[in-house]
Chains A and B, each alone.
Chain A
């Protein structure tokens, strides 16, 4: 099997050469950029809001154990059943057991990156359960048997024609080039799925400890329907999502929507606290909440990078990342793509296998400057590089850097090397881009920078 690094190299090289894809992503995001800047400008002080949000997250994490217990107590008091899952396998088992106990055959899901992370759909389908994604973008990529391309816009990479062809093939609909008609085809196809589903599964954006509630943000109303119609509701969420009070959402909801989608607030921000109550006419009779660790506590133990757990999954860093915009979401081969994915994945799936992502960055810092909770993302990429070199550095890398250090610390050798380089570069064209070229990864598609005809020192000497 190819290693994730090799696969990443191959896919990203292919995508970076795909002009159509680049133009497409650029076009798809141009409207978003305008809207995002309009919305952040509506804040009395956007930078102060970022600082406050980061501080709120930091404080919540600093007493995560208390908040989780408080959340559990309050959710339980409201009739929900709280489950704890140390890893993906445990979380999938919990959900499978609930489905088995209810003899469930059909499950409707609303968008959840956490369930993508633990590959819940596959686990349920192995039991012969039909799992249908209800978010339009997720529904499209599910029909295509693809992973989401973007954590907020899952089907961003597809044109209306591709979607129309897909719907015609799978759903038997009449081809159309109207996004509205395509949306209505999906709406009609999914309506009965809600009504007939035995279980509804949602993700979560936040959890409120004090009142025992799960907060879900969405635009389509699919999550609202998922939690209104089936008799059983399950929410799977990472343990880092918990906030102390309901009022904290007055800050996070507008920030999430502004950076994530260029909206002042998303279409539906809903708090779920338990199953249907006495006197309520609808809603599930059973409500399960699965609290997932899956290496989040290991990240918490790394004080230097703990603030990665502040992430509210707005997707803003993907949108501004020049690397993401060129290589696209699928090249990463990870659940979370873009800057946050590049930093997070080595923590979740192993630094050795995923350290290459730390280099998938120009270190321009656009992600850090945008992040609504002030995660210094590009600095964490450097932290990961450092840790990878320390723990998994190859002898060749160590040798190369030791050699370079010797060379550049000696006046004599340095002078000689640059002179030789200047001379050697004259003949570089003979081997440029071939397998003999030591700088091949760079020179295969680019012109190498010319070594200056004279050094600064030589120039200075001549000048005086």
Chain B
């Protein structure tokens, strides 16, 4: 019997004995601070794979209902995470803001991908550019001062940005250069992670990209004395330019 069959048959044998229900485990956990479970929704065997526990929105960190609530929360998280959030009125303004950023940071070489937001914003910047949505040289990308990309969604609940390998310039663009700049439309700001997954499904159908990454703030580590340091391996700086 090969390892696969061996493992699967062991699992099937093990599962012949049912595990005690969670309610019972709760009592034995001796955790008196835990509230008594009130949600007694029926749990049918056929429903196991679908939303069988109650809606995450009833217990996960809440997000307000309006677009302003979403923006405020994203702003709040960004500040805490040291993500620089720049608001631009329109694509022309975004272009100005990006040029200011390039001047401030003294960029010489920029990595980017083709895109409806990137193209107009980066047009006419007097910088050397490298496209990463077509075959490129890694050593070349390593020497770029910044990477500019679009994203699939911004998430207010956690202050995160969702990028994919298919639509946002591959896998390395958002982690190799020391500064990552994201150009996003205001309507890309969704409430929470659940909504972000819904957006991803709507955009991809059954065919997901090979990598989907939720980026939250610049790269960070606390491995030395638990002291926060930005730019451990990925970018030291993360800037979101929100258009609209």
Q: Which residues of A contact B (CB under 8 A)?
A: 28-29, 31-32, 42-52, 54-56, 58-59, 61-65, 68-69, 78, 84-86, 90, 134-137, 140, 153-156, 158-160, 163, 179-180, 182-184, 186-187, 190-191, 195, 210-211, 213, 219-222, 224-225, 227-229, 239, 244-247, 249-251, 253-254, 261, 263-277, 279-283, 287, 291, 293, 297-298, 300-301, 303-304, 306-307, 365, 368-369, 374, 376, 378-379
Neighbouring A residues of B30 by C-beta, 8 Å: 365, 368, 376, 378-379
Query: In the complex, how many angstroms separate the beta carbon of B57 from the nearest chain A beta carbon?
Result: 8
Select which of A65, A159, A247 is within 8 A of B225 by beta carbon: A159
Q: Which residues of B contact A (CB under 8 A)?
A: 2-4, 6-8, 10-15, 17-20, 22, 25-26, 28-31, 33-35, 37, 39, 48-54, 56-62, 77, 132-136, 138-139, 142, 157-160, 165-166, 169-172, 174-176, 192-194, 196-197, 200-201, 208-227, 229, 231-235
The complex places the Cα of A239 from the Cα of B8 at a distance, in Å, of 10
Show 9 A/B contacts (Cβ-Cβ < 8 Å), sorted by A. A134-B233, A179-B225, A183-B231, A191-B142, A221-B219, A227-B171, A277-B209, A280-B166, A306-B19
Do the beta carbons of A52 and B53 come within 8 Å of each other? yes
Closest residue to A45 on the B side, CB-wise? B59
Neighbouring A residues of B210 by C-beta, 8 Å: 78, 272-277, 280, 283, 287
The complex places the Cα of A179 from the Cα of B226 at a distance, in Å, of 9
Do the beta carbons of B59 and A268 come within 8 Å of each other? no
Contact A86-B7, Cβ < 8 Å, known A267-B220, A272-B210:
yes
Do the beta carbons of A374 and B142 come within 8 Å of each other? no
Query: In the complex, how many angstroms separate the beta carbon of A288 from the nearest chain B beta carbon?
Result: 14
Interface centre among A44, A86, A228 (most CB of B within 10 A): A228
Neighbouring A residues of B209 by C-beta, 8 Å: 273, 277, 280
Closest residue to B212 on the A side, CB-wise? A271
Neighbouring B residues of A376 by C-beta, 8 Å: 25, 28-31
The complex places the Cα of A267 from the Cα of B213 at a distance, in Å, of 10
Contact A211-B208, Cβ < 8 Å, known A63-B48, A282-B136, A301-B10:
yes
Closest residue to B5 on the A side, CB-wise? A84
Do the beta carbons of B58 and A65 come within 8 Å of each other? no
The complex places the Cα of A249 from the Cα of B196 at a distance, in Å, of 11
Neighbouring A residues of B138 by C-beta, 8 Å: 195, 229, 282
The complex places the Cα of A274 from the Cα of B56 at a distance, in Å, of 29
Neighbouring A residues of B217 by C-beta, 8 Å: 267
Select which of B14, B158, B160, B219 is within 8 A of A297 by beta carbon: B14
Do the beta carbons of B226 and A43 come within 8 Å of each other? no
User: What DSSP secondary structure best describes chain B's contact surface?
Assistant: loop
Do the beta carbons of A49 and B60 come within 8 Å of each other? yes
The complex places the Cα of A137 from the Cα of B10 at a distance, in Å, of 36
Do the beta carbons of A84 and B233 come within 8 Å of each other? no
Known contacts A44-B62, A267-B219, A301-B13; 6 further A-B pairs (Cβ under 8 A) = A58-B22, A84-B2, A244-B48, A268-B219, A269-B216, A277-B210
Closest residue to A216 on the B side, CB-wise? B213
Interface centre among B135, B213, B232, B233 (most CB of A within 10 A): B233
Select which of B7, B34, B211, B221 is within 8 A of A219 by beta carbon: B221
Closest residue to B201 on the A side, CB-wise? A246
Do the beta carbons of B214 and A253 come within 8 Å of each other? yes
Neighbouring A residues of B197 by C-beta, 8 Å: 246-247, 249-250
Neighbouring B residues of A225 by C-beta, 8 Å: 172, 175-176, 233-234
The complex places the Cα of A149 from the Cα of B113 at a distance, in Å, of 41
The complex places the Cα of A195 from the Cα of B75 at a distance, in Å, of 35
Contact A281-B170, Cβ < 8 Å, known A211-B208, A267-B217:
yes
Neighbouring B residues of A51 by C-beta, 8 Å: 22, 26, 34, 37
Select which of A221, A298, A365 is within 8 A of B232 by beta carbon: A221
Closest residue to B238 on the A side, CB-wise? A267
Do the beta carbons of B224 and A179 come within 8 Å of each other? yes
Do the beta carbons of B60 and A303 come within 8 Å of each other? no
The complex places the Cα of A43 from the Cα of B56 at a distance, in Å, of 10
Do the beta carbons of A187 and B232 come within 8 Å of each other? yes
Neighbouring A residues of B51 by C-beta, 8 Å: 247
Neighbouring B residues of A266 by C-beta, 8 Å: 216
Do the beta carbons of B158 and A136 come within 8 Å of each other? no
Query: In the complex, how many angstroms separate the beta carbon of A22 from the nearest chain B beta carbon?
Result: 16
Do the beta carbons of A297 and B7 come within 8 Å of each other? yes
Contact A368-B29, Cβ < 8 Å, known A43-B60, A78-B210, A264-B158:
yes
Do the beta carbons of B3 and A283 come within 8 Å of each other? no
The complex places the Cα of A162 from the Cα of B53 at a distance, in Å, of 48
Neighbouring B residues of A59 by C-beta, 8 Å: 48, 52
